[in-house]
Amino acid sequence: MPNSEMYDKVRQGNGFIAALDQSGGSTPGALKAFGYTGDEWANDDEMFALVHQMRVRIITSPAFTGAKVLGAILFEMTMDGAADGRPVPEALWARGVVPFLKVDKGLEDEADGAKLMKPNPGLGALLERAVAKGVFGTKMRSVIDRANRAGIAAIVEQQFAVASQIIAAGLMPIVEPEVSIKSADRAQSDEILLAELLRALDALPEDRQVMLKLSLPVKPNLFKPLVDHPRVLKVVALSGGFSRDEACAELAKNDGVIASFSRALLEGLRHDMSDAEFNATLGRSIDRIYEASVEKADA
């Protein structure tokens, strides 16, 4: 079973979940957004060392605490690293921030308007390591490009099959079937996804729960039935390419949904900032995302 203190923090706490899980494909873009030019690393090891420094600077900032940040999603190498002189998951929880781990290995090629997760034969061993390191839950991402019912159903089926393995290992799965905000039929994808998720949730045993990480819907509060579902611990939203202001404005229209932003959280941060400037910029970002997560706009 997941850690009960962490469970209560996620269920009852106010705040949002920081997504600090950029992987191999998205790391160069994250570093360039952080002010690097791309000439600062010669290989993957040097690149990942820089992104680890970026993440450690964020999670050790005085602005980054459990007062407004409920949790943080980590990349595997970050989970294995150190911050504040201790393992990263332990350092996060010491600040009141619940640690999660990205566990998928990327996406398959598109079929039926959807990108399924690649096979992950090492998942069992990774889950064991995560439990041993004090991680509370996991996150895994698929992508929906078109409103194709077969493709969306396949994504949800795969996500919930893997979620069952994660629950059995004693962790809380975050199921993330992302609807691309660039999709021409995004609103229809939202509707199909809602129906498929409700079907999968209704089929879960009463003693099981998942979390959901979803794109902000075209229709505000479309996902309220998921927020209210007894098999859902929390619904969180990804920024999905929106700017921070855009993402926060859309998030505030959705009752009960909190943020799990990556690019929108890191917007404006640069590696060459002084500590005072860096912490102030991060603090303003955290305040804005927290507000949109807990203070909702009138319908």
- Could you list the active site residues? 176, 213
Residue-wise DSSP of 105-129: --BPPPBTTEEPBPP-TTHHHHHHH
C-alpha 234/C-alpha 267 separation (Å) is 25
Instruction: State phi, psi for 170 to the nearest 5 degrees.
Output: 95, 20
What CA–CA distance (Å, rounded) separates 192 from 112?
Answer: 14
Q: How far apart are CA 35 and CA 71, in angstroms?
A: 25
Which of the 8 DSSP states describes residue 211?
A: E
Decide: 57 and 65 in contact? Cβ < 8 Å.
no
CA distances from 20 to 66, 174, 225 (A): 15, 14, 28
- CA-CA distance, 167 to 204, in Å (whole number)? 11
